[in-house]
Structure 1
Amino acid sequence: MTKIGTTGGRRALLPVVLLAALAAGCGTQRAADDTAAAGATPHGATATPSTPVDRPCPGESTTPTPQAPTPSASPTAPPQDHYAENHGFMVPFPLHGDRRCQGIEEAGRVRKALEPLRRRGDFSTDAVREALLGLGYPAERVETSRNGPTSVDFLVQADDYPVCVEGDMNRARTETDAFGGYPDQTGCDRPTGGH
């Protein structure tokens, strides 16, 4: 007995089955420590990706800071400029959990060490560098640069994770920010080339 038309139906079904198998397994597996940290058991139901929820760090205000809504791409929207996509390698990683608290602490230490220089009006890169080295950071992990006559930019790699502290000391204030490095490279230096 000859069956007519079943081979073509099977070939048409093959891409659908493969796509369903890939979609079912995509993004559902997590490391045991990540799953436990998210509140699920490692052997429980299928895990789903989630946004990390950060607890207040010591000395931090418990009032949440408002966050700007993230734009969502519509599947029917026309393609937009790919600038953000092409320059994503220059967007630093945010810190979460204990690393976030460490970053806040390191940024506070740096700000506290530089405030006396700012109040005195000492905006030399050497003075800023010496103040940062005085906090115990290794010389090869401290960078300073002039940003005008009364402004100094700085970058410190606080540890190998990395926890990075960058900022600017100027007449008005000392600003610091902590982050977790950049995609596609180690260390705290902002990448200059793309993909």
Structure 2
Amino acid sequence: MHKLFRILLLSMVAFSSIFLATGCSAENGKAAQETANSNKFPAFQTVDVAGNTVTQDIFKGKKITVVNIWGTFCPPCIEEMPELGRWAREMPQDAQIIGIVCDASGPSDKETAAAAVRILKDANVGFVNILPDDKVLEFLSNIEAVPTTIFVDSNGNIIGEKVIGAEVAKYKEQVKRYLK
């Protein structure tokens, strides 16, 4: 029995490692599709998890915004949150992090917002996390897995390369490179 338990435990650890390295599949299962305007983040007007209005103006005044697309169902997303919270508090003035709760069905999804608030509180995250409106939901349909992190300049242009998986060191490299 002890040997069976050990094998099961090792299997779970291996499975978790794969999840952490690659991220969770997007809930809707859609394959990535290139769009004609994939280099621009869509204009939007939605709310954050606290119900405050947020628009694409959130990008203005920052040279770079790290956009972390995550889901309340995704263990790697949740596990990287404390590190993202610490990093957000240490970022230079011309950079910021925002999150998009990808499994929210829209700005009025109270249940997913409540789950996100619990996760963010437990992780000591203070940066803005939005619930997607229709335009952001359409944009998210092109995301293969979560977490996926993209980088946006002050004009809403997507810059650099997206990072799929919980790879905070890679996020930091891109920000450092861009701010040089």
Q: TM-score range by the shorter chain?
A: under 0.3
The structure richer in helix per residue is 2
How does the TM-score come out when normalised to structure 1?
Answer: 0.25
Which has the higher relative contact order, 1 or 2, with Cα contacts under 8 A spaced 6 or more apart?
A: 2
* Structure of higher CA gyration radius: 1
